[in-house]
Structures are given as structure tokens and as C-alpha cells.
Amino acid sequence: MRTGLLCLLFCLLAGVTRADDGLAALAKQPRWHALLHINPGATLRDRHRSYVDDDNFFLAEHGADDPLAELRASVAALREPGAERCRFPARYRFIATSLGWHDPQPFAHCADYLQWRASVHAKRAVLVFPAAYLNSPSSMFGHTLLRLDQGEDSAVWLSWAVNFGAMTSEQDNSLFYMYRGLAGGYPGQFNLVPYLKKIQEYSHMESRDMWEYSLDLNQAQIDWIIDHLWELKEINFDYYFFDENCSFRLLELIEVARPGTGVLDELRFAELPVNTVRSLDQRGLITERHYRPSKQVELEAFSEGLSADERSLARALADDPGLADSDAFRAYPAERRALMAQTAYRYVRFVHRKEDRSEAVAGQSFALLRLISTLPAVAPPRATGKAPPESGHGSQMIAAAAGQLGGDDFGEFSYRLTYHDLLDNSLGFPEGAQIQGLGLTVRSTESGAPELEELQLVGIRSFSPRDQFAKPLSWYVEGGLERAWAGRRRLVRYLQGGAGASWRYGGWQPYLLASARAENNSEFSEVVTPGGGGEAGMLYHAGRWQWQLSTAGHYFTNDVYRHRSRLAVQYALSQQQGLRAQVEREGWRGGDDTEFKLQWRWYYD
């Protein structure tokens, strides 16, 4: 009798041990880690624990740190129908499949989930990349979101958009957003909205090109994403502007759909949207691309099809549709009149896109549409020549240079965390745009030890050319530490910025800017010395060649005057390498110095 009881007890203990061993192995599965958003080491924060910063997401007390404890709690909570099963359909699917549970209607009691699931269904997943928008700090590097299409041929305005973003308030200004975004001061959440709203926001309102990438995900994998999105409703994550951002979180969803892709295996100091596209492309997850030009690009395509006189007449026609009866307009062939009328109509729609429709604007639009209807149909010009963003150079850069300043030779090493300047290879980047962050340059001369030459915290420039149809503001802001003359070349702290205009004539782009500078200089008596001045320059692009000629000067309130002139040229040796030469002359009251530098640059992700 005693022997039988001991055998029974041993069998029970052995069964419990085997079951526990099975759960331990299951808790190590990539999909379970993906469902819990466990950091595999992709970022330095929260290594090997969950990125989710919300207790409501976990069933175990230490579930964020212990995948096995969370699995045990989930098995206990989801075994029988109840509220927890309704909250975690993707978890239930994983556990039920792994442990062989058989329930023909596991969510029959989950009315809210079933109603939501009936409205959110998809047969195709598309990664969408709205291009960089420098006038918004949250979008200056671009953005990524996921589109869920109901079918291969379904209209995209019926699709859903999956977006991850910081939970900001309307009172947050741009500088405050940047600070809190860098410091992790915002929570981030996933949200699901009609894709039509995103088209209106990005393409129409912000005039941003959009690239759409169909993903190699089958129906079952797409269903994993949708079920998991239900689990993430109103669940908070930490949001960091550079790494744990919109693009990074979408990669986590891809891991839920296809565990083991490796998209989160590498350590990331910055996760830019373009790097997300490259990561998916390199792993064969992108099957096709589609370019959706912004309304501004479409307008430019129409405008470029006109001669200078026709552009002027189209612009006047937009203000006064009655000019359609003028001799000047009727002198053109019907096809040219049709193209001018289409251009005028698109201009009216573009320039008033952010306003409530007024009676006057509605009247203009109707008159132009009526004119268009009387003219031959013309095929809209295609916006061509755009290279996809992932075709550009890497977002990080290291460089080695040699040169001469005055009579001293020097060698130089530079590193830039991100992203692109005006002389880098422009393939895949917005023209006339520069976004630089965390750039470091160390210089060594024959007569001295290596010294910090420059530490650029931020350097943003937006040179959008003006024409008859668009009058954008060109502007720049930059700040950090740099060597400047003040009795001798010394390291100064500065912040400067300005605004003005630029134009385009073929490959040439001249610009004029008024600017202001605030400088902290140990040679100056004031802690911060302000100054004002301006900058004039010319950009030129021709294939692999990029040229810039510029001169800038500032007059400070302590009667110090300083100016710099520069001629720089870069040749793209390849997608990831460039050779740059520049001559720079710095002048001040009573003296000047000339510097020549030849630099090799290597770009990488």
C-alpha cells in the first residue's frame, strides 16, 4: 500500500516537472517574447525585459521581467473562458496551439472583441513611409506606419492605418517636444485609424511624398498582428525620439507576425524610418514599391510641362478664371489651354488645402472645372525621377581628412550620428534639405595634441525653391561648439539660425538668408553675445557632383565682426562613399585665415 502511494506521488511529481519543463521551453519561444515585447538587446534601455511600460499588460507581478512567470499566469487565466481571454486573443492563440487546447469557439463570450475583429480585417500589409517634413520636429526624419488592406485590389481609402506615436498635448511647442522626446518624457501608444486620414494629413496637408511597400506576410501572419493590436489598445510604451519610436515599434509588430526575422537583433543608437525600410528590404520582406506623390509634387509636374509664359498665364487664371475668355489665353492651342487650366485648378486646391472651403474659393474651383470640361482631356504628367528613400546613403558617417590652415598641416577625424547634409549624395533624399545631429570632429596638428574642432548638436537646413505657384520659406538652425577667431582660434558655444528664400534655375539653386547668432565666448565680456547678419550662397547638383559656394557674416553687439566664405565640392564615389574638397576663408577685423581640406567620407547604418 505504502509503495503504491509512493509510486503515485512520484508519477504526479514527474508529471508536474515535465509540464513545468514544457512551459519553460515555451517561454523561450521567439513569438512569446515578441508578444511580450521583450528587448533582445536592440537598445541599451530595458535589455532582456519588456518595452511595455504599463502594468495592465501583464498578468504576473513581475511579468515584464520574467517571461516564464507571465506564461504561467497566462495559462492559468486563459485556460477557461473569461475576461482575460477576451483581452489577450493573440496570447490565447499561441498558448492554445502550443498546449493542444481545443475550443471550437474560444471567444464566443467576447462581444466587444468580436465586433472589433469583424470591422478590422486585412489580406495585405503595407509599410508606408511619408518622406521627411522639416517643418515638424516629429517628422523631420520621415515617418513609418503600417497599412492593412482588405484585399489586393481594394481601394486604399477603405484600409486601416496602424500608427505608433507619442501622446503629446496641444500645448507642447516644438522645442518642448524635442526635449521630452529625447528624454523619454512621453508615453507612446499604438492606434488604428482609417488610412484616408493619413493620406489627407501627409500627402495633402503637409505636402509629403509617400512610399508604400507591400510586405511578404501571409494571412495567418497578418492575423497575428491584428489580434495583437487588440491587446495593445491604450497600452503605454516609453517613447524616445531617436530609437524607441514609430519605426522601431513597427518592427516589433513584424516580429509578432514572423518571429526570427532578425530585424531587432542589432543594437540601435538611432532607429530612423529609412533604416526600418532598409532592414525589411535586406531580409526579403518587401515584395513591391509604390510611389504616391504629394499634391505639391503633382502641381510641380503640371507646372514643369508649361513654358514660362504659360506658367504666368496659368497663375493669373487661378486668381481670375475669367481670363479664359481673353485673347491671350485663346491664342494657345486647345491642348495647351487644357494643361494651363488643370494647373490653375490644382494650384487653387493646393494653396487653400488647410482652410475651410469659402464661397469665393468654391466659386474659383467651379469656374476652373467648368473650363476644364470644355477642353480636351490631358493625361496628368507623371512625377518621375524620385528615388526610393532606402536607395540613399547610410544614416551614420565617419570621415578622415587632411588639410592646411595657414601654414599648419592637420589631420582630422569626424563622426556623425545622423543623417545628411547639403553636399552628401542626394539620391533618395529630399532636395535642398539637411538634417545633421551629433556630429563630432577631432583635429591633430604637427605642433599640438588632438583637440576638439567641432561638436555639432543640430544642423538643419531647408531650402525649398520658390516659383509662381509656391512661396516656401527657406530657413536653418544650428548649434553646438566650434572653433572661431576671437584673439585666437578658440572653442565657442553657439546657436544661430535664419530665414530667407531660395530659387531654382536648372541645376542651380541660389539662396539668401538673414540670420542671428548667440555666442558664448571666453574672450567676450558678456556671457552670451548676440549678433546679426546674413548668408548668401549657391547650390549646384549634377549627377554625382554636389557644389556649394557660400559667404556668411555676423556683426556682434560688442563691435566684433566675423565672416566666412566657402567653396566645397563632393563627388559620390559610390552609394556609401564620397570624396569632398573645400576651401574656407575666415575673416575678422585686422586679419584672416584660409583653410584647405580634402576629406574621404564613409556612410553606413
pLDDT, tens digit, 9 for 90 and up, residues 356-405? 778 888 888 999 999 999 999 888 777 666 788 899 999 999 999 999 99
Would you say residue 512 has pLDDT above 60?
A: yes
Mean pLDDT of 228-236: 95
Would you say residue 598 has pLDDT above 90?
A: yes
- Give residue-wise pLDDT tens across range 449-481: 899 999 999 999 999 899 888 888 999 999 999
Would you say residue 420 has pLDDT above 80?
A: yes
Percent of all residues in the chain with a pLDDT value above 70, rounded to a whole number:
90
Lowest mean pLDDT among 137-141, 397-401, 444-448: 137-141
Q: DSSP code of 229? A: H
- How confident is the model at residue 481, as a pLDDT? 95
Would you say residue 3 has pLDDT above 60?
A: no
- Give residue-wise pLDDT tens across range 7-32: 544 444 444 445 566 799 999 999 99
Mean pLDDT of 228-234: 95
- How confident is the model at residue 16, as a pLDDT? 44
Would you say residue 98 has pLDDT above 90?
A: yes
- How confident is the model at residue 489, as a pLDDT? 83
> Which residue is it, cell 502641381?
299
- How confident is the model at residue 383, as a pLDDT? 67
- How confident is the model at residue 530, as a pLDDT? 95
- How confident is the model at residue 431, as a pLDDT? 82
The residue ranges of DSSP E strands in 407-466, in sequence order, are 408-420, 433-445, 451-462, 465-466
Would you say residue 194 has pLDDT above 60?
A: yes
Would you say residue 223 has pLDDT above 60?
A: yes
What is the spatial order of strands in the sheet that 160-166 belongs to?
237-239, 186-194, 160-166, 145-149, 124-130, 210-215, 286-292
Q: Is residue 509 within 8 Å of 539, Cβ to Cβ?
A: yes
Say how far apart CA 188 and CA 182 lie, in whole Å: 13
Would you say residue 533 has pLDDT above 60?
A: yes
Strand pairing category for 186-194 and 237-239: antiparallel
Say how far apart CA 126 and CA 152 lie, in whole Å: 11
- How confident is the model at residue 22, as a pLDDT? 78
The residue ranking higher by pLDDT, 16 or 192, is 192
Say how far apart CA 399 and CA 458 lie, in whole Å: 18
**Nearest partner of 32 among 23, 21, 41, judged by Cα:** 23
Mean pLDDT of 79-106: 93
The residue ranges of DSSP E strands in 305-432, in sequence order, are 396-405, 408-420
Q: In which band, very low, low, confident or very high, does the pLDDT at 200 lie, cut at 50, 70 and 90?
A: confident
Backbone angles phi, psi at 172, to 5 degrees: -75, 120
The burial class, CB within 10 Å (0-12 / 13-18 / 19+), for 583 is middle
Backbone angles phi, psi at 116, to 5 degrees: -65, -45
Would you say residue 501 has pLDDT above 60?
A: yes
Contacts of 211 (CB under 8 A, 6+ apart): 128, 129, 131, 277, 289, 290, 291, 292, 388, 389
Which range is most confident: 35-49, 151-165, 482-496? 482-496
Say how far apart CA 426 and CA 528 lie, in whole Å: 36
Say how far apart CA 35 and CA 50 lie, in whole Å: 10
Average pLDDT value over all residues in the chain: 87
- How confident is the model at residue 468, as a pLDDT? 85
Backbone angles phi, psi at 508, to 5 degrees: -95, 140
CB < 8 Å & 24+ apart, contacts of 543-547 = 544/425, 544/571, 544/572, 545/569, 545/570, 545/571, 545/572, 546/422, 546/423, 546/424, 546/425, 546/426, 546/570, 546/572, 547/423
Q: In which band, very low, low, confident or very high, does the pLDDT at 535 lie, cut at 50, 70 and 90?
A: very high
The residue ranking higher by pLDDT, 346 or 589, is 346
Amino acid code (one letter) for 274? V
Which range is most confident: 69-73, 182-186, 294-298, 320-324? 69-73
- Give residue-wise pLDDT tens across range 292-301: 888 888 888 8
- With the CA atoms of 515, 521, 527 and 533 taken in that order, what torsion angle do they form, in degrees rounded to the nearest 10? -20
Would you say residue 262 has pLDDT above 70?
A: yes
